[in-house]
A and B are shown apart, each in its own frame.
Chain A
Amino acid sequence: MTKKKSILSDQRVIVLLVILALVVIYMIFSKEFRQYSSILSMLDFSYYDVLMAIGVTFPLITAGVDLSIGTGMVCYALIAGRLIRDHNVPVVVAMLICILLGCIVGLVNGILIGVMGLPPFLATLCTCMITRGISSMIMATPWPTTKQPGGWFHSIFKLTFGTGRQATKIPIGFVLVVVLVLVMEFVLNHTKFGRYTIAIGSNKEAITLSGVNVKFYHVMDYVICGMFAGIAAIAYAAVVPTVQPGTGAGLELDAIGGVFVGGVSATGGYGSVLGTLAGVFVIVLLKTGLPYVGLQANWQQIITGAVLIGAVIIDVIKRRRLAKEQ
């Protein structure tokens, strides 16, 4: 960093400003949005997006992608739900199974991509189809609701703590997600795994020739991604009344879009998990917030697309400027 950079050159700052702007606009134009319960319910439906996005940040930084996280998430939730309902598996175990299944699918993706050399788009498209197929073989599954035995897991995401006036209560789910974001941001910046993840996206040949076991780290990126899809499955089951097969497709695109809005380079080699969190919130605000100001759901898609184009253009301009410096 030889030159001083303006604070605006950090995409995360821009994204934060966008979030603030959206919130202010919503607050001005919608009475309901000003109620705390609206914000809570919006948050409820953001957790699984954020969790998927944390995971998929890693493949995206390596200039890869994981399309299987959305359908995978629903598939894991269905399998675990069936185990609870039909086989009396304790909820804790079912939750661990979700995470384990995510890791396994991630491992398959990782081996296909990192070891066998398949293009990430193709490999994960296949696992996306497979998990969707498995889902449709399983019937809709209600996980235990809050009042049923075993329904406590909802509280991880839905309960708020704090006393006194409602506005001071903070949802546990939000805290959990923020903690995970901070942990993974730390992992990205302070561990070998993180360092090599960025290097794979930046110049894979150079670190291979430095004697790094690139295959291992490349596979691990997809395992981590799958693991977060597994955690997202728990969050998903906690907020939707019934997990339906056939849902989930397309959810991964919200997460992936959010990661790009959050500043991960479209060609890999740069990214931050904090940025991902902010980026996904932009998407969530657009997804759940626009109806409050009277815009139809169709608009939400169009505006989200436009925002994404803006984010990628910023990335392209940034890279072009760097190329010029070279």
Chain B
Amino acid sequence: MSEAILTMENIDKSFPGVHALDHVHFDVRSGEVHALMGENGAGKSTLMKVLTGIYSKDSGTITFEGREIEFHNTREAQDAGIVIVHQELNMVGDLTVAQNIFIGREFMKGFRIDDKKMIDESNKLFAELKIEIDPRAKMSDLTVGKQQMCEIAKAISHKAKVIIFDEPSAALTEKEIEDLFVIIRDLRAKGLAIVYISHRMDEIKVITDRVTVMRDGGYVGTLITSECSKEDIINMMVGRVIYEDPKTESHVPKDAPVVLKVEHLNAGRMVQDVSFELRKGEILGFSGLMGAGRTETARALFGADPKTSGDIYVNGQKVTINSPQDAVKHGIGYLSEDRKRYGIVVQKSITENSTMASLENYMNGAFINKAEEKKITEKYIKELATKTPSPDTLVVNLSGGNQQKVVIAKWLVRNCDILIFDEPTRGIDVGAKNEIYKLMNRLASEGKSIIMISSEMTEILRMSDRIVIMCEGKKTGELDISEATQEKIMDKATRDIA
């Protein structure tokens, strides 16, 4: 084995309230493909952002080709030869392939851009990679796979010595993944160091030489891929102590009626034939890794995104839901993972946000009955223990936890019986998290039914009565809380070896 070309030692990084990286170690050698694995939020992306200068580290050292370095932006990292191929491709669709590859460093001929030279250089790159793409083609006309090849070509053109692939296969077809692997092997043979971030266990086995696992911002360990099993890796990924009491059995009475039934829901690639039932007073956890299609399922169910097929039954009655308006009419409320964008109007008061979904009940003829409105808002401020000086306070001035309570209030004012919580505690500090959990448990015991989408394993195990697991747009399993373990969930959430 050769010496490591890049070594990250004792990397530490904190954000307000979060210890994102806790003395992490990572190294990669020339001519090696090194997998970086971990659950959502384990710190993989943060680590790579520290490496490429998007974030600055608090402490630790990065050694590259024997010298200690620190980049201040991606440009510096690129110039040194460290390049990221992002999951979301950063391409300008309306420009040609060649224009995209050389964007920001165009060849010039006097005052003119030398398009011909850019095309020639692109052709050389593609020849080196043994792929066929017309540099004159418009980027948006290419398939996602081909676009990714262009990203790789762009990386090579930077004379990259280390290439980081951030979930490169997430959007690719089987065939495209094979092509990608051919290229990656080729790059490895040429002596490049490759970091491969992925959730797909089978790919890790096929393409990588070593695996480093991270968990909760910490370094767990590094294994040689050929010497370990899928189970070894999963155990390293999940092997944490659950410090909050997990639920051990379902709190839902055996005879509780089914309030929501979804059958064969289809909506694009991310929602394929999803069926499930939700019972009165139940908290149904939706687990899965990033991009498993959980949010997409919720949005399709709620009518926020169009669905291609599928039946929805509320309280045994078949219903048509084509818009959020329809969903709300049937008593379904959706609490988005992106509160600021989809949940609340931050520049408006708590009162205005609380009655946003049910204003028609607070009218005096044509006019809003502001006294009534304030009364109901005050009621829920008290009931949910929202910390605010007054109902007139702008939501922007509240903390994350209290903003979430305003969204909950909005649906309770509307009298919704089915609540979809999408990542209910994202961006909320630990103390407030517990309060939200208590609140959700109380709502369930009062007969509300809750779907809880969560990427946090502890949250899923602590809150759910039953767990639906999704992977790549399909439902891959369903577990009662009494039988659920982290290992079982993770096993169903990662794609099996085909």
Contacts and interface: CB of A to CB of B under 8 A. Distances in A.
Given A208-B324, A210-B324, A325-B396, A191 B356 contact: no
B112 interface: no
Interface residues of B, number: 36
Interface string A194-229: 011011001101111111110000000000000000
Contacts of A292: none
A322 interface: yes
Interface stretch (B148-156, B169-177, B338-346, B378-386): B338-346
Given A206-B345, A210-B410, 11 more contacts: A191-B368, A195-B359, A198-B348, A203-B344, A209-B334, A210-B356, A211-B323, A211-B325, A211-B329, A269-B347, A270-B347
Interface stretch (B8-16, B387-395, B428-436): B387-395
Interface string A164-192: 00000000000000000000000000111
* A contact residues, range: 20 to 34
Contacts of B336: 209
A205 B324 CA distance: 11
A202 B345 contact: yes
Contact of B357 (A202, A212, A326): A212
A203 to B, nearest CB: 4
Interface in B352-381: 352, 356-357, 359-360, 363, 366-368, 370
Contacts of B334: 209
A2 interface: yes
A35 B120 CA distance: 77
A119 B347 CA distance: 24
Closest 10 CB pairs of A and B: A211-B328, A210-B357, A203-B345, A202-B345, A211-B325, A210-B356, A190-B367, A211-B324, A205-B342, A209-B324
Contacts of A211: 323-325, 327-329, 357, 414
Given A207-B356, A210-B410, A211-B327, A202 B396 contact: no
B342 to A, nearest CB: 5
A68 to B, nearest CB: 28
* Max count, chain B CB within 10 A of own CB: residue among A192, A196, A203, A326: A203
A212 B342 CA distance: 13
Nearest to A326: B396
B345 A207 contact: yes
Contacts of A269: 345, 347
A1 interface: yes
Interface in A2-17: 2
B59 interface: no
B304 A191 contact: no
Given A2-B389, A206-B345, A209-B304, A195 B327 contact: no
Contacts of A205: 341-342
Given A191-B368, A192-B359, A195-B368, A210 B347 contact: no
A212 B356 contact: yes
Contacts of A1: 392-394
B393 A2 contact: yes
A108 to B, nearest CB: 23
Given A1-B392, A325-B396, A190 B359 contact: no
A2 B393 CA distance: 6
Contacts of A199: 345, 348, 352, 356
A195 B352 contact: yes
Interface string B21-49: 00000000000000000000000000000
Nearest to B328: A211
Contact of B368 (A190, A322, A326): A190
B397 interface: yes
B397 A192 contact: no
Interface in A60-77: none
Q: Is the interface of B mostly helix, strand, loop or mixed?
A: mixed
A279 B367 CA distance: 27
Contacts of A270: 347
A1 B392 CA distance: 7
A196 B336 CA distance: 20
Given A198-B348, A206-B345, A211-B324, A192 B368 contact: yes
Interface string B388-423: 010011101100000000000010001000000000
Nearest to A196: B359
Interface string B310-330: 000000000000011101110
Nearest to A323: B396
A209 B396 CA distance: 19
A39 to B, nearest CB: 35
A320 B459 CA distance: 36
Contacts of B356: 199, 206-207, 210, 212
Contact of B325 (A2, A196, A206, A212): A212
A209 B340 CA distance: 12
Contacts of A2: 389, 393, 397
Nearest to A203: B345
B394 A326 contact: no
Contacts of A198: 348
A307 to B, nearest CB: 25
Contacts of B357: 210-212
Interface in A78-123: none
A200 to B, nearest CB: 10
B327 A192 contact: no
Given A198-B348, A202-B345, A203-B346, A322 B328 contact: no
B355 to A, nearest CB: 9
Contacts of B327: 211
A82 B336 CA distance: 56
A206 B368 contact: no
Contact of B397 (A196, A202, A210, A325): A325
Nearest to B338: A205
A144 B326 CA distance: 53
A326 B366 CA distance: 35
A192 B344 contact: no
Contacts of B329: 211
Contacts of B343: 206, 209
A25 B107 CA distance: 59
A190 B325 contact: no
B97 to A, nearest CB: 29
Contacts of A210: 324, 328, 356-357, 410
B344 A206 contact: yes
Nearest to A192: B359
Given A2-B389, A190-B368, A192-B363, A209 B347 contact: no
Among A196, A207, A211, A212, the one with the most B-chain Cβ atoms within 10 Å of its Cβ is: A211
A17 B463 CA distance: 58
Contacts of A192: 359-360, 363, 368
The listed residue with most B CB atoms (<10 A of its CB), out of A2, A202, A203, A209, is A209
Contacts of B410: 210
- Residue among B328, B336, B348, B392 with most chain A CB within 10 A: B348
20 contacts: A1-B394, A2-B389, A191-B368, A195-B359, A196-B359, A199-B352, A203-B341, A203-B345, A205-B341, A208-B324, A209-B302, A210-B324, A210-B410, A211-B323, A211-B324, A211-B329, A212-B325, A212-B356, A269-B345, A326-B396
A203 B397 CA distance: 17
Contacts of B394: 1
